[in-house]
Amino acid sequence: MSINSAADYVRATRAALGMSGFTRHELDGTVYWVGGAEACPTLILVHGVNDQAGTWAAIAPKLAQTHRVILPDLPGHGESEPKEGPIPLSLMVDRLHAILEHQPAVTLVGNSLGGWISILYTLKHPDKVAHLILEAAGGLARPFATPTTATTPEAARTLLRAVHGPNFVPPEWAIDAVIARATDAPMLRVTEIMANFVDARLKDINVPTTLVWGADDGVLPVSYAEALQAGIAGAKLHVLDGAAHIPHAQQPERFLACLTAT
């Protein structure tokens, strides 16, 4: 499939999930994909802001060979409700729990905003999480290293290089998508931010925790990962060369190796 727009990218990644055996499900307005054998350990992958379940298409099929893999669209993202209005962080945590409520304890993997949601979920439902894996995860009361919106092509290129690495050459459709998101994006609808920073609560995480970070992350630099690691007892940190803010897409094999090593 030729990719000429953000919509093309979304369709292609979700089609790839379907072609690799994942099936689409819906629960009270939340859409999620499931792959792998039911008898296998459960692994749930939670995407970042303005993203959707298809972001995991490069690694999900391989993980499904050994795990039952669940890929939700966070509320207000992908095909999940609400389509308009606020998206409270608490709603994201509760919708995640609705999917996991009847599952055994899972390995919970979260990228960026999905990592923040994963931290909040672990704090609220520690009995449901066997292992927490934070990939370029947010949640600290610290500013981003780069603006997260852009209204000009050059600013959009700067943001895209922060997300994908300093040598990334963005296609025109990606630049257009970033500019469009400056006024219309799920990120702009997220609420309850100030009340849910986790700096003071990291000490309460008592499940095994692994951090996976891109060495070239221009949104949340490695120093951010080190602060998370310092706050979570026993947390391990893997820093991947050649990756930025989305290591599972930028260095999928290395990311998979980190999951295997945990």
* Separation CA 65–CA 63 (nearest Å): 5
Beta partners for residue 213, in sequence order:
239
All structural domains of the chain with their residue ranges:
6-261
Helix residue spans in 72-208 (DSSP H): 89-100, 113-124, 153-164, 172-181
211-225 average pLDDT score: 98
Burial class (CB in 10 A: 0-12, 13-18, 19+), 74: buried
Any idea what DSSP says for residue 20? T
Give yes or no for residue 260 having a pLDDT over 80. Answer: no
Give yes or no for residue 262 having a pLDDT over 80. Answer: no
Domain 6-261 carries which CATH code? 3.40.50.1820
Beta partners for residue 76, in sequence order:
none
Which uninterrupted H or E stretch holds 24?
strand 23-27
Among residues 113, 73, 126, the alpha carbon closest in space to that of 232 is found at: 126
46 close to 118: Cβ distance less than 8 angstroms: yes
43 close to 69: Cβ distance less than 8 angstroms: yes
pLDDT tens sequence across 4-29: 999 999 999 999 999 999 999 999 99
Give yes or no for residue 261 having a pLDDT over 80. Answer: no
